[in-house]
Structure 1
Amino acid sequence: MKYIITSIFAVFLIAQIHAKPHNGIAPTFRAGFSEKDITPDIGMEQPGNYGKSHHKKFHDQCKVRAVVFDDGKKKVALVGVDLIFITRRVVEISRAEIESACGISGKDIMIGASHSHSSGPIAMSEPGDFDDADPLIKHLATNMSIVSDPGFIQYLQHQIVAAVVDANANLQDAKLAVGVGKEDKVAFNRRMRMKNGLTYTHPGVGNPDIIDYAGPIDPDVGTIGVWDLKDNLLGMVVNFACHATTNPDGISANWIGAMERTLRGVTGNAALPVVFMQGACGDITQVDNMAKHANPSAEEWWELVGGRVGAEAYKTMLLAKRGAGSDIPLDSRQKVWTVNRRIPTKEKVKKSLELVKQGPEKSGSVEWTFAKEILLLDAMIKKRPKAEVEVQAIQVGPVAFVSNPAEYFVQFGLDIKKASHFPFTFIVELANGCVGYVPTEEAMGPNGGGYETRLTSYSNLEVSAGRQIANTGIELANQMTPGKVPSPPPPAAFKQAWGYGNVPPEHK
Structure 2
Amino acid sequence: MPYLREKLAEALALAEAHLQPARAGWAVTNAAEYTALRRWIRRPDRIVQDPFGNPTVRANMHAGRNWDDVIGESGPEDPDLSLIAFQSPDGRPLAVLANFSMHYFGDQAISADYFGLFCDHFAARCGQAADDQQPPLVVAMSHGCSGDIWRRDYKNAEPSRVESLTIQQYAEELADLAFEAYETIDYLADADLAMAEVRLPLKYRVPDKQRLEWAERIVQEMGDRPPKDTTEVYAREQIYLHRWQATEVVVQALRIGDMGIATTPTETYALTGLRIKLQSPLPKTMVLDLTNGGDGYIPPPEQHLLGGYNTWAARSAGLEYQAEPKIGEAALGLLEQVSGRSRRVFRQSLGVTSQAILQAEPLAYWRLDEFAGPRAVDASGNHRDAIYEPGVVFFLEGPRSDLICNDGETNRAAHFAGGRLETRLADLGDTYSVSLWFWNGMPVDARETAGWMFSRGRPYGLGPLGDHLGVGGTASEPGRLVLLHVDQAHAATTRVGRTEIERWTWNHLVFVRDQQQVRVYLNGDARPEIEAELPAGFPSDLDRLFFGGRSDNQDNWEGRLDEVAVFSRAVTIDEIAAWSGAAVGDRTIR
| Category of TM-score, reference length = shorter chain | 0.5 to 0.7
User: Which residue of 442, 460, 463 maps to 2:302?
Assistant: 442
Q: Which of 174, 182, 193 lines up with 1:309 in the alignment?
A: 174
Counterpart residue type for residue 179 of structure 2: Y
Indicate the residue corresponding to 2:206 in structure 1.
Answer: 343
Deviation at 1:301, TM superposition (A): 4.3
1:263 alignment counterpart: 122
Aligned to 2:248: 388
The AA in structure 2 aligned to 1:466 is E
Of the two structures, which has the highest relative contact order with CA contacts closer than 8 Å and spacing of 6 or more? 1
Partners of 2:127 and 2:340 lie apart in 1 by 32
1:331 corresponds to which residue?
A: 194
* Secondary structure of 2:141 counterpart: strand
2:277 paired with 1:376: no
Decide whether the 8 Å contact of 1:412 with 1:440 is kept in 2: yes
Match of 1:178 among 26, 31, 37: 26
* Equivalence map 1:35-74=2 (5 Å): none
**What's the TM-score, normalizing by structure 1?**
0.59
Equivalent position to 2:153, from 258, 279, 288:
288
> CA distance change for structure 1 residues 304 and 345 in 2, over 3 Å: closer, same or farther?
farther
Relative to structure 1, is the Cα distance of residues 367 and 294 closer, same or farther in structure 2, using a 3 angstrom cutoff? farther
Give the C-alpha shift of residue 250 in structure 1.
4.8
Q: Deviations over 1:77-112 (max 9, x none)?
A: xxxxxxxxxxxxxxxxxxxxxxxxxxxxxxxxxxxx
Q: What secondary structure is seen at the aligned counterpart in 2 of 1:229?
A: coil
Asked whether the 8 Å contact 1:259–1:307 carries over to 2, the reply is: yes
Partner-residue secondary structure (3-state), 2:337: coil
Letter in 2 for 1:252: S
Give the Å deviation of 1:481: 2.9
Distance 1:210 1:364 in 2: 29
Secondary structure of the residue aligned to 2:271 is: helix
Partner of 1:402: 262
CA distance in structure 2 between the partners assigned to 1:454 and 1:333 by the alignment: 32
In 1: Cα distance, 2:220 partner to 2:188 partner = 63
Q: Give deviations 1:120-143, integer Å, cap 9, x for gaps.
A: xxxxxxxxxxxxxxxxxxxxxxxx
Shift of 1:479: 2.0
Q: 1:342 to 1:303 in 2, by over 3 A?
A: same
What residue is the counterpart of 1:417 in the other structure?
Answer: 277
**Does structure 1 residue 189 correspond to structure 2 residue 48?**
no
1:243 match: secondary structure = coil
Please show how residues 60-139 of structure 1 align to structure 2 within 5 Å: none
Q: Is the 8 A contact 2:204 2:241 kept in 1?
A: no
Segment of structure 1 superposing worse, 282-291 or 176-185: 282-291
Spell out structure 1 runs of 4+ moving beyond 6 A: 295-299
Which SS does the other structure have where 1:452 is aligned? Answer: coil
Q: Secondary structure at the match of 1:230?
A: coil
What CA distance in whole angstroms lies between the structure 1 residues aligned with 2:240 and 2:163? 32
Residues of 2 paired with 1:174 and 1:432: CA distance? 25
Shift of 1:194: 1.6
The answer as to whether partners of 1:344 and 1:378 remain within 8 angstroms in 2 is yes
Q: Is the 8 A contact 2:162 2:170 kept in 1?
A: no
Q: Give the aligned residue type for 1:368.
A: E
Supply the distance in 2 between the matched residues of 1:411 and 1:345 (Cα, whole angstroms): 30
**Quick one: distance in 2 between partners of 1:330 and 1:393?**
11
- Shift, 1:162, TM fit: 1.6
Quote the offset at 1:220 in angstroms.
Answer: 1.1
- Of 291, 299, 319, the match for 1:461: 319
- Under a length normalisation based on structure 2, what TM-score does the superposition of the two structures give? 0.51
Supply the distance in 1 between the matched residues of 2:331 and 2:159 (Cα, whole angstroms): 39
Contact 2:115 2:142 in 1 (8 A): no
Distance 2:32 2:267 in 1: 20
Q: What letter matches 1:470 in structure 2?
A: G
Structure 1 SS opposite 2:301: coil
Change (3 A) 1:479 1:436: same
8 Å Cα contact 1:403-1:429 kept in structure 2: yes
CA gap 1:297/1:419 in 2 versus in 1, 3 angstroms:
closer
Q: Kindly provide the CA deviation profile for residues 172-192 of structure 1, in whole angstroms up to 9, marking residues without a partner as x.
A: 222222111111112222110
Structure having the higher helix fraction is 1
Alignment partner, residue 107 of structure 2: 248
Match of 1:391, SS state, is strand
The residue that corresponds to 1:353 in the other structure is 216
The alpha carbon displacement at 1:452 in A equals: 0.6
Is the 2:38–2:64 Cα contact (8 Å) retained in structure 1?
no
CA distance in 2, matches of 1:452, 1:421: 30
Deviation at residue 242 of structure 1 after TM alignment = 1.6
CA distance in 1, matches of 2:74, 2:89: 47
Q: Which has the larger radius of gyration?
A: 2
2:82 pairs with 1:222: yes
Shift of 1:239: 1.0
Distance 2:334 2:19 in 1: 27
Aligned residues: CA RMSD: 2.7
Using the aligned pairs only, state the percent identity: 25
Q: Distance in 2 between matches of 1:472 and 1:414?
A: 15
Residue pair 2:121, 2:175 contacting (<8 A) in 1 also = yes
Distance 1:438 1:482, change over 3 A: same
For 1:338 and 1:305, the matched residues in 2 are separated by 39
Which consecutive unaligned segments of at least 5 residues does structure 2 have?
46-57, 130-135, 342-590
